[in-house]
Amino acid sequence: MSKGNRSKPAPPRGKGPRTARLGELLREVVAEELERIDDPRLELVSITSVEVDADLNRAIVSYDSLAGEAGDAEILEAFAARRVRLQAAVGRQIHARKTPVLQFRPDEVIRHAERIEQILRDVPRDGGPATGSAAETDAGPA
The per-residue pLDDT of the chain, averaged, comes to 81
pLDDT band at 95 (very low <50, low <70, confident <90, very high): confident
Residue 122 clears pLDDT 80, i.e. is over it: yes
Helix (H, G, I), strand (E, B) or coil at 101: strand
| Entry pTM | 0.69
Instruction: Check: CB of residue 15 under 8 Å from CB of residue 23.
Output: no
Mean pLDDT in residue range 5-12: 42
User: What are the b/e assignments for 9-26, b being 16+ CB within 10 Å?
Assistant: eeeeeeeeeebeebbebb
pLDDT, position 13: 47
pLDDT, position 86: 95
Mean pLDDT in residue range 17-31: 92
pLDDT tens per residue, range 33-67: 999 999 999 998 999 999 999 888 999 999 999 88
Question: With left for phi above 0 and alpha for psi between -120 and 50, is residue 6 left, alpha or beta?
Answer: alpha
